[in-house]
Amino acid sequence: MSAEISGAEEARIRDRYRAGGLLGALTPGTAPAVIVVDLQYGFTDARYGPGFDLDSVVTATTELVTVARENDVPVYFTTIAFPADGDGIGATWLRKMPAMRGLRAGDHSVEIDGRLGMRPGDPLVVKQTASAFAHTDLSDRLTEAGVDTVLVAGATTSGCVRATVVDACAANLPAFVVRECVGDREDGPHRAALLDIDAKYGDVISLAAAQAIARRL
């Protein structure tokens, strides 16, 4: 799926997928949580190697977080942070993405973007792989909190967002990716990832629909 794919071609792909038994629909539960994936300065500030323009994503995610807080929906933030003195479990990933070598524990680049209004005590998952679930305690935290649905925001759509949704599906946890709240460096991978997620692992929904889930409507 290239950046030049037309809306008509995407519609044809969806028709073929649906005819082949893909593109089923999930039903949200009654105990949602928001997972904000890697909206740290290393990604939201273009001065850092992995960074790019995520302003609109940050703005939309802040709106989602606000509604979640108003309705006592827990918000979990994730950040990529490698040890200050080594690569931890992320050595292979860093060979593929050396731009992330500056994302070290204690550096400003691993802090959550202040525009999101993260509060003291908000759960923070520190990771060294793409998925928020891999080699972290996120699954245990969600289970302990009784969470039965996750609303996923963040970056990048084709990388850490997609990996997180795939693992949520593997954990039998319905995942809803909020279209306005995710972003990628290029439109082609972004759109392809959204289509792939929607076809096989989670539902891609609007910000308004996500806010309705947060309000338990």
Q: Known catalytic residues?
A: 160
Please state, in angstroms and as integers, the Cα–Cα distance from residue 182 to each residue in 76, 107, 123, 205, following that order. 15, 24, 20, 11
List of E strands, 10-148 = 32-37, 75-80, 124-127
State the Cα–Cα distance between residues 37 and 181, nearest whole angstrom. 10
Give the other-Cβ count within 10 Å of 106's Cβ: 10
Give the other-Cβ count within 10 Å of 98's Cβ: 10
